[in-house]
A and B are shown apart, each in its own frame.
Chain A
């Protein structure tokens, strides 16, 4: 028990050191742009590194977390601790003086949601801006995946951790390669993609500063921006480049790895969810483009560009905004929200339910219909040519139920906090799925600045729930979890 807790503290220490290191990188723009936050950022870095280092140092010998319960606790505590330390740069540099707002922003960053409380982003110091992007890049990849990668040889019950974090539905990836290998590949793809997109954006004529920030926030399906109008003011070509970055952030990393290392034969039998992803995407784009042209009066060129990019942004739950979406036709806004609930593929940085789950749910309905017509038939559900076991089926259905229930309760509670119904729906979906922008004041180029403090805390909780796929957080709330034995 105590050894488990010590090992847990050690892991938190390691991650804090990593976070402190990234904070240190934010000193570069602080010095370069001379925005007057050098001292504050140094203090933050020192504190985070210090606490992390002490924890790591004290408990360096405790390497094993054997207990399943500890794995769940670890994941949640990790996010909370990292979020708390991530608020430091926001608070110390005076970007905001409210703990509520800082916590919301940090949570939104680390869960790569992209909902912001800053209505005027451009007035923030450069170091804070980079820190916001950095949080998303760090969080989007999945801190837990990093944990697994770091501790791959350190004897943690890796499998328990991996299932706790995400991708419960993606059994195909795990069956072929071991978790460690998957994580390494993911990390490789992620790093390479980041560098490539920074280079691409830079060569298309973007400032280095913007290129770095936008790549960080879009490759992680985050959605923060250094501009007040998100990605609306960059050139058309750059918007398309960013759209590709977002699209990749919604694709399973193992698939990407196999693709870019030319192992196409291995991809062949995994393409089913990718196919569904593409079909869903094309259909939605057709609707959005049509709606924008006929109902909002955009010319075809603009409608196609805005429609394609914004649909990608929604489906991958990135949340970058190409135009003032609050003015768009209501059904288009509705569709974008629903797409963000579908989310990207399992094993990517995107949030939402994940395409694979949606696919399994739909197949399940087909199976039930079939069995009603032929009561004695036994009809297995297949995915990628393999039978989906009853265990995974119920897993998916439970997550769907809990996700839906959380969404509903989120809307209800936000309304009780005094948010109006439409905005409550937007905020609940936006935060739980990790999309970011909601409806009304919080949608489009807007921010969550006008939300009451209670609502902000609730949204932060929803973001945490969404990132950890609900179950990991909820299991901590069970009395049985805390009972001995």
Chain B
């Protein structure tokens, strides 16, 4: 195992985080929010640890990468970075317990958006900015940072690339991995800047616009007020809805969109399914809202917002409705499990996998009647190999297993069974807060959960973000067996 390389790459990422801290520090300096010292100090710690790892431990590391290292890098990056990212919460004194700070940080980097901060409006502005930046950095994937930074890596960079997008058969934008990664970041950055500008033009404060835009584009879901998105204008909500929908589309596909290769969009089966799912879910929710006596206009607009927020696993909510029907909870729960498109920043099982499974099931039933028939599954006019289908089955099985074990651990911490399932599902799919959780049982505030439950949820968030296999690979005995 090439530990030096692992340390070096982790260190580089920490240095980058320290550099990113400059923005919160600047904001803090401008607003005199009293968090300056804490932020500067945590930036210094990040830089120090980063330097130590990069230049002392990782000095002279060979840049040869193997499969095994790529898993180890993924895991170490995703454990070290959220831990270090928790420093600003602690050092500014905003969150007093280590569990809370790490929870907020993990929730941010995994783009879940579950928050233990009771009233975000009371956080210092600098920290608020950092909080939303964690989601943005985690959104596209920490590993993609690494790949973009260390262009001289040799060997299986593809495995590294795939560690965060496992099992979805990413189509690269460019034969060179580093180039495609740069393009992905370009799109991501561009979308974010556009949304910030639009939100600011819609009359929101600059900090608000910044935080909401970062939460939206990364499908994280941290909000800046304790009451969700209640106080915002209709225009703001409409913009956010649109961009949530767009973030549910794969980033690679958005690249095609912005470079006017629209034909590829139309040929993409997954996109068509995504759009169809969105429309059907909106219709179902709107009808159920309207039947409960909400106005038609409110029902439709709120459904548009709510479904976009759920299917992209963003997790924004606004209490725009008086009556929340069960039917909407049902739709919501199904959407949580399905998630958005493969390659997007959202979580969940991903539509491409579900499409493959659905087609496989259809073929299976037909085979029950015609035992000797041979079928293939085609998506985007390409045959899906059966090996890949087996992998998807394995993934779905593990996903459900994680939800079950997560829910079990939550009941150990005192949750009811139904609540436990909702919490586990919402966090493994990186959704975070949702009206669903509040209607299934008692009002569940993440801040009120016991410590054990918080750590369970953290594991679930990371498992969901890394799509389980990367996390599971390094704890399997097979991984550590000497060759």
Measured in the bound complex, the distance between the Cα atoms of B362 and A402 in whole Å is 11
Contact yes or no, B334 A412, CB < 8 A = yes
B469 contacts partner chain A, Cβ-Cβ < 8 Å: yes
Contact yes or no, A331 B408, CB < 8 A = yes
Contact yes or no, B334 A401, CB < 8 A = no
B169-203 vs A, CB cutoff 8 Å, 1 = contact: the mask equals 00000000000000000000000000000000000
Measured between C-beta atoms, what is the minimum distance from A376 to chain B in Å?
11
For B329, the closest partner residue in chain A by CB is A415
B interface, how many residues as a size bin?
A: 35 or more
Contact yes or no, B366 A369, CB < 8 A = no
Contact yes or no, A474 B365, CB < 8 A = yes
CB-CB under 8 A from A393, the residues of chain B are 390
Measured in the bound complex, the distance between the Cα atoms of B389 and A68 in whole Å is 27
Contact yes or no, B394 A368, CB < 8 A = yes
B464-483 vs A, CB cutoff 8 Å, 1 = contact: the mask equals 00000100110010110000
Contact yes or no, B408 A368, CB < 8 A = no
Contact yes or no, B67 A373, CB < 8 A = yes
Of B110-118, B210-218, B414-422, the one touching chain A? B414-422
Measured in the bound complex, the distance between the Cα atoms of B404 and A40 in whole Å is 48
A276 contacts partner chain B, Cβ-Cβ < 8 Å: no
CB-CB under 8 A from B455, the residues of chain A are none
CB-CB under 8 A from A478, the residues of chain B are 365-366, 369
Contact yes or no, A398 B361, CB < 8 A = yes
Measured in the bound complex, the distance between the Cα atoms of B391 and A68 in whole Å is 31
B262 contacts partner chain A, Cβ-Cβ < 8 Å: no
Q: Which of B330, B395, B397 contacts A415 (CB 8 A)?
A: B330
A32 contacts partner chain B, Cβ-Cβ < 8 Å: no
A299 contacts partner chain B, Cβ-Cβ < 8 Å: no
Q: Which of B369, B407, B440 contacts A475 (CB 8 A)?
A: B369
Q: A398-B360, A401-B361 are in contact. Are A368 and B334 (CB under 8 A)?
A: no
Contact yes or no, A390 B369, CB < 8 A = no
Contact yes or no, A331 B412, CB < 8 A = yes
Contact yes or no, B469 A400, CB < 8 A = no
A333 contacts partner chain B, Cβ-Cβ < 8 Å: yes
For B370, the closest partner residue in chain A by CB is A68
Q: Which of B357, B407, B440 contacts A401 (CB 8 A)?
A: B357
Q: Which residues 60-85 of B have a CB within 8 angstroms of A?
A: 67-68, 71
A383 contacts partner chain B, Cβ-Cβ < 8 Å: no
CB-CB under 8 A from B479, the residues of chain A are 373
Contact yes or no, B404 A338, CB < 8 A = yes
For B330, the closest partner residue in chain A by CB is A412
Measured in the bound complex, the distance between the Cα atoms of B397 and A401 in whole Å is 8
Q: A331-B408, A401-B396, A416-B327 are in contact. Are A439 and B417 (CB under 8 A)?
A: yes
A381-425 vs B, CB cutoff 8 Å, 1 = contact: the mask equals 000000000100110011011101000100010011000111011
B366-408 vs A, CB cutoff 8 Å, 1 = contact: the mask equals 1011010000000000000010011101111110100010011
Q: Which of B397, B408, B412, B416 contacts A422 (CB 8 A)?
A: B416
Contact yes or no, B412 A397, CB < 8 A = no
Q: A397-B397, A481-B369 are in contact. Are A412 and B333 (CB under 8 A)?
A: yes
CB-CB under 8 A from A480, the residues of chain B are 365-366, 369
CB-CB under 8 A from A424, the residues of chain B are 418
Q: A368-B394, A369-B478, A401-B357 are in contact. Are A338 and B473 (CB under 8 A)?
A: no
Measured between C-beta atoms, what is the minimum distance from B345 to chain A in Å?
23
B326 contacts partner chain A, Cβ-Cβ < 8 Å: yes
Contact yes or no, B330 A369, CB < 8 A = no
A69 contacts partner chain B, Cβ-Cβ < 8 Å: yes
Contact yes or no, B357 A425, CB < 8 A = no
Contact yes or no, B390 A68, CB < 8 A = no
Q: Which of A334, A397, A415 contacts B407 (CB 8 A)?
A: A334
Contact yes or no, B478 A364, CB < 8 A = no
B324 contacts partner chain A, Cβ-Cβ < 8 Å: no
Measured in the bound complex, the distance between the Cα atoms of B244 and A397 in whole Å is 33
Contact yes or no, A398 B364, CB < 8 A = yes
Q: A331-B408, A369-B473 are in contact. Are A364 and B394 (CB under 8 A)?
A: yes
Measured in the bound complex, the distance between the Cα atoms of B100 and A13 in whole Å is 67
Which secondary structure dominates chain A's binding surface? Answer: helix
A143 contacts partner chain B, Cβ-Cβ < 8 Å: no
For A426, the closest partner residue in chain B by CB is B417
Measured in the bound complex, the distance between the Cα atoms of B130 and A70 in whole Å is 65
Q: Which of B329, B397, B420 contacts A365 (CB 8 A)?
A: B397
A187 contacts partner chain B, Cβ-Cβ < 8 Å: no
Measured in the bound complex, the distance between the Cα atoms of B391 and A372 in whole Å is 10
B94 contacts partner chain A, Cβ-Cβ < 8 Å: no
For B331, the closest partner residue in chain A by CB is A412
Measured in the bound complex, the distance between the Cα atoms of B334 and A408 in whole Å is 9
Measured in the bound complex, the distance between the Cα atoms of B158 and A429 in whole Å is 42
Measured in the bound complex, the distance between the Cα atoms of B398 and A416 in whole Å is 28
Q: A398-B361, A412-B334 are in contact. Are A333 and B67 (CB under 8 A)?
A: no
Measured in the bound complex, the distance between the Cα atoms of B365 and A402 in whole Å is 11
Q: Which residues 107-152 of B have a CB within 8 angstroms of A?
A: none
Measured between C-beta atoms, what is the minimum distance from A405 to chain B in Å?
9
Contact yes or no, B397 A364, CB < 8 A = yes
Q: Which of A369, A390, A422 contacts B386 (CB 8 A)?
A: A390
For A368, the closest partner residue in chain B by CB is B394
A22 contacts partner chain B, Cβ-Cβ < 8 Å: no
Measured between C-beta atoms, what is the minimum distance from A334 to chain B in Å?
5
A268 contacts partner chain B, Cβ-Cβ < 8 Å: no
Interface residues of B (CB under 8 A from A): 67-68, 71, 326-327, 329-330, 333-334, 337, 357, 360-361, 364-366, 368-369, 371, 386, 389-391, 393-398, 400, 404, 407-408, 411-412, 414-418, 420-421, 440-441, 469, 472-473, 476, 478-479
Query: 28 A-B residue contacts at CB 8 Å?
Result: A68-B369, A330-B417, A333-B417, A335-B408, A366-B476, A369-B478, A372-B473, A373-B68, A390-B390, A394-B389, A394-B390, A397-B390, A397-B397, A398-B360, A398-B364, A400-B393, A400-B397, A401-B393, A404-B400, A415-B329, A415-B330, A416-B326, A421-B418, A421-B441, A471-B365, A474-B365, A478-B366, A480-B365
Interface residues of A (CB under 8 A from B): 68-69, 72, 330-331, 333-335, 337-338, 361, 364-370, 372-375, 390, 393-394, 397-398, 400-402, 404, 408, 412, 415-416, 420-422, 424-426, 439, 471, 474-475, 478, 480-481
Known: A373-B68, A398-B361, A421-B418. 20 other contacts (CB 8 A): A68-B368, A68-B371, A333-B417, A365-B397, A365-B398, A368-B391, A368-B394, A373-B67, A375-B67, A390-B386, A394-B364, A394-B389, A397-B393, A400-B397, A404-B400, A408-B337, A421-B441, A425-B418, A425-B421, A480-B365
- 9 tightest A-B contacts by CB? A421-B418, A397-B393, A368-B394, A412-B330, A331-B411, A422-B418, A330-B411, A331-B412, A334-B411
